[in-house]
Structure 1
Amino acid sequence: MQNLKRLLGFAFAASDLLIEIHPQGKVVFAMGSGPSTDVLAETLVGSSIFDGVGKASAKAVEAVLATLKPGTRSPAVEVLFAAGDSRVRRATVRLFMMPDLAPHISGAVTWEGPAYRLHDPQSRPALTPGAFLDRARDVLTAPGASADLAVSFVDVSGLQAAEALGEAGERLNARVQAALQAASVDGNSTGQLGPERFALLRDRSVDVDLAGEVRELGLSEGLDLGVRATEVGIDVGGDSLNTLRALRFAVEGCLKDGGLDRPELTFTASLSRTLRNADAFRAMVRDRGFELHYQPIVDLKTGAVHHFEALARFRGTNGPADTIHMAEELALIESFDVAVAEKALGRLRRPGSGLLKFAVNVSGASLADDRYVQSLLRMTAARPEERRRLIVEITESAALADVDAANRRLGALRAAGIKVCIDDFGAGSASYDYLRGLSVDTVKIDGKFVEGVETDPRARTLIGHLVELCGSLKVATIAEMIETQGAADILRDLGVDHGQGWLFGKAEAEPRTQLQALDPGRRMGEIVGWG
């Protein structure tokens, strides 16, 4: 009896549930811990092992039983047990045929993780990346938002290949999306970021085996999916809006740079880096720790310098675009735009600068309220004559949320004598909306149209029509990224007023009013532009 107890102790030290089954799968004995408190071990007796596990699991067990010989032990088999109330529980099963008990088979079951609820096959499909980020905004900023939220990223290798299965592949994709939606915080907070990548907001207090469930879905359709899930908590306390902005920026960075495929760019690292960079950006703006370089913009008819564009330069970066994008996403751009204007005005006020005129860039995000315009008017209030030497270029890197309100603010600048320009016209879908809705003095034609002007008749036609349109609106035109004299001549003949590009000069720390002699052999150079 003592030895029998020892053997029982050893058995339960290695497993959670002991079963004995008939070769056809009927359970004739069960002892130990059942799959859940609703399904006890003794309730398994008399049922079929094939009825108690998932479809893919049943096939795996059936294959082992067909080959098991007396005195041999099976390899570990991963199965999914029914745990009652539409829940399942992952387990590892090892089978052994003892000669004295043959043909009955002894089994040891070890539970892997808690029981979890199966998804609703009719759940909503996964959201697009943009809709997922919008949904994250709603969830994180909602009153009473859970303090224990997390973002889970799930990569499902092999899901894209399943499309070749036709209807079965479509069904599997829908089931995976439904499973992840069911696991999200409200049943509708899962986004599909790529063919095989998903992200979802979920409550960490709810224990769900995401990777296990998706893997089992694949097995049920005859596919062995490679599933990888990672999770990071979200602090919804404090400034939840800034946390959301950092989340949006970090998600975009993960998508662009490979995300979970590169450990150094995991979501956690990206989010932490974003918040650190935001703090560094605030300090840089506070200390004015950036430089302005000045690129000439010339009159295409006379070749004389008309004005300069003030371009921000940051230490230790390859260019300003990524830094500006981060500042716009984290609502830090307005203070920077004001700092740029302040620096440019400081240069205008140096002795001997009376003929200089500068264009400064302003993000559409900075025109969402009155503060930028009020700051610029306040900075020039004591010297109103300086306003006639300033041009404000509106960039399309951040869309204007309210064009009518922005036009009223820009109208205040124009009434004070500050000219207004639409930058990078044609680069974004909102260009013509801006031209229609904003009262401006100048339009800067995006360089992608200028690049092909010597060889592409369509580019020349487009620019010609745009110049004609602007002329009818009494709006001047600037063409950027001019790299050859041939392009400059064509643009001049098309009626473009001003030109900018390396043909005339690169951006330099000091504005150069006397241009260097043009090198007819130079055809290409670095394209410098803000954002």
Structure 2
Amino acid sequence: MSFQSRLLGLAFAAADVLVEVDGDTKVTLALGAGVTAGADPGRLWSGKRFTDILTATSRQPVAKALHALQSGGRTSELQIFVTGNDGMVRRARFRAFSLPELAPAVSCSLTWDGEAFSEAEAPPKDMLTSEGLVDHTRQIMADDPTADMSFSFVEVSGLDRNNAEHSRAEAQIQSVLQASSVDGGSAAQLSEKRFAVIRLTGDKTDLAAEIRQAALDEGVELMVRSTEATLAGGTSPGIALRALRMALEDCLKDDGIEAAGSGFSERLKATMREADAFNTVVETRDFSLHYQPIVDLKSGAVHHFEALSRFRSGGPAATIKMAEEMALIQAFDLAVAEKALAQMQRSGFGLIKVAINVSGASLASDSYIQGLLGLTASKPDMRKRLMVEVTETAALADLEAADRRLKALRKTGIHICLDDFGVGSATYDYLSRLPLDTVKIDGSFVQNVCETERAEKLIGHLVSLCTDLKIATVAEMIETEAQAAKLRTMGVTYGQGWLFGKATAEPVLRLPSASGPVAARRQGEVVGWG
């Protein structure tokens, strides 16, 4: 078998159609399966411009991608529609590569996505949501971290969605926005009249004028405003995405279009300053930990403490969210572990056990696990007094990998807890697939346990499920004796909240006195994980 045959076999293993276009984007070679069964792309496409075999909404994104392609470079994957010679259309995934030895020719691949359908039935691409646009930007940056990127923020005023002509105009506007985007599917609808689009840097098309004309073609006259922002290649994805989120938030304000565009570079600079300041906080350990007691609801004894971060300025929740968005959280999570372990080794603290928080984002690689085990390597017995509490502020993208990493911790004696149980959409998936010792029931349920039957039943079901799985439960945000008594009778294992004590700079073993049946038992005993 020849080497060329092997290469061709490998190529067809990755794509359905292989296409070569010349410097004018005319098809010089096409091999593979056509739009419909029996159609020969080589015979039907050769000599045509590649964009001429695409639907109208797919032409501009492909043309822009081919025009911007550098020698030795590869395009991001584009979702496109390819036309047949019989009025049929087929969705495909498109990529192009510029091999220097073949220049100016460009090698392209098409992978069919589904069967062919009538062109009249071609579905328009759905508009992205605000968060979908952020995710799309993340993927584009991952595909080519050095590429510049532009954003257009658009406001369209005057559409009446109860009017047939206006409805058609709206559909045409969405088609124009998608066609102007970098890959034909990177336009987002942020509100009823505001949009954002990822575009190729250097695209001089007057987007506002195209939208106005598309509406006029349907007999509708609209007022359209737009503004632009540019993101330089090489910008840290975390910083770029946080700045983009803030720009999208700006876009929803009264003067949002102008603020989103003109203020984007300032947002980037401000975000970079935030990142530098946070990195300094982590490097210098310029934050503190406060310890809140978690008690055994049956005995009233302190079971362990949760280490909660405190900063000189800014609330912990906002700071942690910022660090997660900018991919700075892992170093901070390890710094928290280091501080907590140092406290646990101080004279007079006996066998106190501590729960430390770890963001789901920190479990995206092995580095956090290696770091934590490294911190406890010289005193492995400390691991038996440590609990890792996985917060749901950042979702666990790869549960299989997270399961493997958490099992590595659990194998050494470190206990695993899932925070905010019952709130996140993936909670039950986490419960079934992660090696958990404890789950913490979110305070939004706990606060209403004595007021609403719904909250009581929800907690009851959660506790029953965890009991069956031999997983302990913690109810947070307990503020009254009535709540504590109710949760104890429902079978909740542990309690946390102001009733038992606020977070303090030093762990307080002797809890404040309180009325009720558990008060006499609420002494400073420290019990095992049990």
Output the TM-score relative to the length of structure 2.
Answer: 0.69
2:127 counterpart residue number = 126
Instruction: Choose which of 356, 362, 368 in structure 1 pairs with 2:364.
Output: 368
| 2:245 is the counterpart of 1:248 | no
Answer yes or no: is 1:509 the counterpart of 2:505.
yes
Q: For the aligned residues, what is the CA RMSD?
A: 2.5
- Secondary structure (helix, strand or coil) at the match of 2:241 reads helix
Distance 2:351 2:434 in 1: 28
Distance 1:225 1:156 in 2: 7
2:242 and 2:475 map into 1 onto residues whose CA distance is 31
Once the 2 structures are TM-superposed, how far is the Cα of residue 249 of structure 1 from its aligned partner? 2.2
Q: Letter of the 1:312 partner, please give it.
A: S
TM-aligned CA distance change 1:125 to 1:419, over 3 Å: closer
TM-superposed CA distance for 1:217, in Å, is 4.2
Q: Distance in 2 between matches of 1:482 and 1:252?
A: 34
Residue 466 of structure 1 pairs with residue 462 of structure 2: yes
- Counterparts of 1:519 and 1:197 in 2: how far apart (Å)? 57
SS of the residue 2:362 aligns to: helix
- 2:127 paired with 1:135: no
Q: Whole-Å Cα distance in 1 between the matches of residues 143 and 406 of structure 2?
A: 34
Q: Among residues 157, 160, 163, which one is paired with 2:161 in the alignment?
A: 163
Question: What displacement does 1:338 show?
Answer: 0.4
- Cα deviation for residue 387 of structure 1 reads 1.3
Are positions 1:455 and 2:451 aligned together?
A: yes
- Residue number among 303, 307, 310 corresponding to 2:300 in the alignment: 303
The range that moved more, 319-328 or 387-396, is: 319-328
Corresponding position of 1:225: 222
Alignment counterpart, residue 268 of structure 2, candidates 246, 252, 271: 271
In structure 2, relative to structure 1, the CA distance for the partners of 1:519 and 1:333 (3 Å cut) is farther
Deviation, structure 1 residue 181: 2.2
Contact 1:139 1:145 in 2 (8 A): no
CA separation of 1:146 and 1:338: change in aligned 2, threshold 3 A: closer
1:123: Cα distance to partner? 6.6
Question: 2:286: which partner in 1?
Answer: 289
Deviation at 1:274, TM superposition (A): 2.0
**CA-CA distance at 1:264 after TM superposition:** 6.5
Pair 1:389 & 2:385 matched: yes
Residues 1:418 and 1:143: Cα distance change in structure 2 (over 3 Å):
closer
What's the secondary structure of 2:228's corresponding residue? Answer: strand
Amino acid at match of 1:227: V
Decide whether the 8 Å contact of 1:123 with 1:182 is kept in 2: no
Once the two structures are TM-superposed, the CA of residue 216 in structure 1 deviates from its matched residue by 4.2
Contact 1:422 1:443 in 2 (8 A): yes
Q: 3-state DSSP class of the match of 1:393?
A: strand
Q: Is the 8 A contact 2:304 2:353 kept in 1?
A: yes
- Residue identity matched to 1:489: A
Q: Distance in 2 between matches of 1:258 and 1:209?
A: 19
Q: State the shift of 1:513 in Å.
A: 1.3
> Which structure would you say has the larger Rg?
1
Higher mean alpha-carbon deviation, 372-381 vs 216-225, is at: 216-225
5+ residue gaps in structure 2?
1-59, 61-121, 517-530
Letter in 1 for 2:513: A
In structure 2, do the counterparts of structure 1 residues 374 and 267 end up closer, same or farther at CA, with 3 Å as the change threshold? same
- From 178, 181, 185, the equivalent of 2:178 is 181
Report the Cα distance in structure 2 between the residues aligned to 1:333 and 1:485, rounded to whole angstroms.
36
In structure 2, what is the Cα distance between the partners aligned to 1:230 and 1:219? Answer: 21
Question: Equivalent residue for 1:198?
Answer: 195
* Counterparts of 1:138 and 1:472, CA distance in 2: 40
Summarize the Cα distance change of 1:183–1:246 in structure 2 as closer, same or farther, 3 Å threshold. Answer: same
Tell me whether 255-264 or 351-360 shows the greater mean CA deviation: 255-264
Letter in 2 for 1:230: T
One-letter amino acid matched to 2:444: K
Q: Does 1:152 align with 2:130?
A: no
Residue in 1 that maps onto 2:209: 212
Give the partner amino acid of 1:471. Answer: T
Q: Partners of 2:350 and 2:171 in 1: how far apart? A: 67
Q: Distance in 2 between matches of 1:254 and 1:483?
A: 39
Distance 1:183 1:495, change over 3 A: same
Secondary structure class of the residue paired with 2:424? coil
Runs of 4+ in structure 1 over 6 Å off:
none
CA drift of 1:484 comes to 1.1
Query: What CA distance in whole angstroms lies between the structure 1 residues aligned with 2:414 and 2:179?
Result: 55
Superposition pairs of residues 2-81 of structure 1, within 5 angstroms: none
**Cα offset for 1:255?**
3.8
Q: Which residue of 2 aligns with 1:26?
A: none
The equivalent residue for 1:316 is 313
Query: 1:399: which partner in 2?
Result: 395
Contact 1:152 1:230 in 2 (8 A): yes
- Do the aligned partners of 1:338 and 1:376 also contact (CA within 8 Å) in 2? yes
* Counterparts in 2 of 1:145 and 1:463: CA distance versus 1, 3 Å: same
User: Aligned partner of 1:153: which letter?
Assistant: F
Offset of 1:122 from its aligned partner?
Answer: 8.8
In 2, distance between residues paired with 1:123 and 1:448?
Answer: 40
Helix, strand or coil at the partner of 1:164: coil
- Give % identity: 52
Stretch of structure 1 that moved more, 191-200 or 389-398: 191-200
Instruction: Report the Cα distance in structure 2 between the residues aligned to 1:353 and 1:193, rounded to whole angstroms.
Output: 53
Alpha-carbon distance, 1:222 to partner: 5.7
Measured in 2, the distance between the counterparts of 1:279 and 1:413 equals 31
Aligned-pair CA distance for 1:487: 0.6
Residue identity in the other structure for 1:164: N
Count of residue correspondences: 392
CA distance, structure 1, for counterparts of residue 184 and residue 414 of structure 2:
51
Deviations 1:78-119 (A, max 9, x none): xxxxxxxx9xxxxxxxxxxxxxxxxxxxxxxxxxxxxxxxxx
Find the aligned partners of 1:413 and 1:125 in 2 and give their Cα distance. Answer: 42
Letter of the 2:333 counterpart: D
Q: What amino acid is the match of 1:251?
A: L
Pair 1:206–1:473, CA change in 2 (3 A) = closer
User: Residues 206, 255 of structure 1: CA spacing in aligned structure 2 closer, same or farther, 3 A cutoff?
Assistant: closer
Kindly report which structure 2 residues correspond to 1:479-490, keeping only aligned pairs within 5 A, or say none.
479-490=475-486
Q: Take 1:518 and 1:258, find their aligned partners in 2: how far apart are those partners? A: 51
From 429, 432, 437, the equivalent of 2:428 is 432
Unaligned runs of 5+ in 1: 1-85, 87-120, 521-531
TM-superposed deviation, 1:228:
2.5
Distance 1:125 1:416, change over 3 A: closer
Give the TM-score taking structure 1 as reference length.
0.69
Deviations 1:467-510, CA, capped at 9 Å, x for gaps: 22212222111000111110110000001111111111111222
Which amino acid letter does the alignment assign opposite residue 176 of structure 1?
A: I
Q: 1:310 to 1:156 in 2, by over 3 A?
A: same
Tell me the secondary structure at the aligned position of residue 163 of structure 1. coil
Say whether the 8 Å CA contact 1:146–1:203 is kept in structure 2: no
Shift in CA distance, 309/518, structure 1 to aligned 2, threshold 3 Å:
same
Asked if structure 2 preserves the Cα contact closer than 8 Å seen for 1:123 and 1:181, the reply is no
Shift of 1:285: 0.9
Task: Work out whether residues 170 and 215 of structure 2, in 8 Å CA contact, stay in contact via their aligned partners in 1.
Answer: no
Tell me how far apart the structure 1 counterparts of residues 480 and 226 of structure 2 sit (CA, whole Å): 52
